[in-house]
Structure 1
């Protein structure tokens, strides 16, 4: 397969077809197509890393192949027994259970997005993040209210947000609404057209660059 740096439409087509044929028999019969799609994503992530290392040297240590999540679903505790994910996900330092802020790329027809920050941190890490935000509120607000940041992101995720200020913090803390958060992540939706654009890696890197100050704040704890 010819190595290219822009995402191939065949990769999205594979995911669309997989969604309609989410069973082991079909997947095994189309294993080669899956491997080609997977390699396409790896090649794209390699190019993305090249673009991102300009503003974040740590990303240069990332391995594009190892950054990809497995396509096989863990169905042990799920009512949905479909064996495969219908997306490709790549984590550059970010993911469920990671205790450091990083970047994430989600590829799914009509539902692709870029994300950054820290997702589901352990309670001890979450408490330290909240302490830092409470103590250095002005610095945090400077990051999330910056024009470049607001141009790309509507705000931090409110998934699982608490109704009350967590224990250990004053109810009238000026950063109260941020202290109620359980994840400190931002997302930016990406259309199929943007994903397949030949300049996608360069454009995505610009968006990740806007996330970096948030990651730096979270990782300074």
Structure 2
């Protein structure tokens, strides 16, 4: 089974997180990578059936490398032992927000949505301004039964409502945040189930109103030039 093979490779990489092992098992990596890209492609096609404006990107343009940037990290292990992809209107860029797939063995996988980064100050300000103006819509999305049953909004959070915003606003707790995202935990058993793709599409579909709110708020956002 492809999923079992992928999880097996990632588990072995985690136990042998060094460049020598990685290069010695390059053929195994290429197979696992191709299997993951096939899953991403299938998910993209299935999501387009209901999210019809979702562009079709090549799967390789939606996935992230295993290599880690260790320059500013205490953890010097060279690889992130997880397969990751972001399926959105902008490919794997963090904005527009979309559907995030994170596969890692040991029951650490999840399906994600929303804005994960808190480093884009303009994006944070745009979402906060939208929360001020459209707080009732935000509340309606978060209070829907499907949402409450499956999700909790995560994100980096300040201690106080930032300057310039009303501390008494009904969405004050969310105004404190610098990012707004969802993580739906997925067990290894769930990943290995034959209907995993259909399951993931269903969970991602339940995130769509949340993503839609954020994308409307971020409609005029421009990614900083590198």
Q: Report what 1:196 is aligned to.
A: 192
Any gaps of 5 or more consecutive residues in structure 2? 218-226
Aligned pairs (5 A) from 1:1-221? 7-93=2-88, 98-109=94-105, 110-121=107-118, 122-153=120-151, 155-157=152-154, 159-221=155-217
Q: CA deviation at 1:97?
A: 6.8
**Does the C-alpha gap of structure 1 residues 164 and 103 become closer, same or farther in structure 2, counting only changes over 3 Å?**
same
Q: Report what 1:3 is aligned to.
A: none
Any gaps of 5 or more consecutive residues in structure 1? 1-5
Q: CA RMSD in A?
A: 1.8
Q: CA deviation at 1:20?
A: 1.0
Q: Is the 8 A contact 1:96 1:120 kept in 2?
A: no
**Does the C-alpha gap of structure 1 residues 96 and 49 become closer, same or farther in structure 2, counting only changes over 3 Å?**
closer
- Structure 1 residue ranges, 4+ long, deviating more than 4 angstroms after superposition: 94-97
21-30 vs 56-65, which moves further: 56-65
Spell out, residue by residue over 1:77-99, the C-alpha distance to the aligned partner (whole angstroms, 9 max, x if none).
11221111111111113899723
**Does the C-alpha gap of structure 1 residues 204 and 96 become closer, same or farther in structure 2, counting only changes over 3 Å?**
closer
SS at match of 2:182: strand
Spell out, residue by residue over 1:28-64, the C-alpha distance to the aligned partner (whole angstroms, 9 max, x if none).
1100001111111111111111211112123342321
Q: Is the 8 A contact 1:11 1:37 kept in 2?
A: yes
**Does the C-alpha gap of structure 1 residues 7 and 59 become closer, same or farther in structure 2, counting only changes over 3 Å?**
farther
SS at match of 2:100: strand
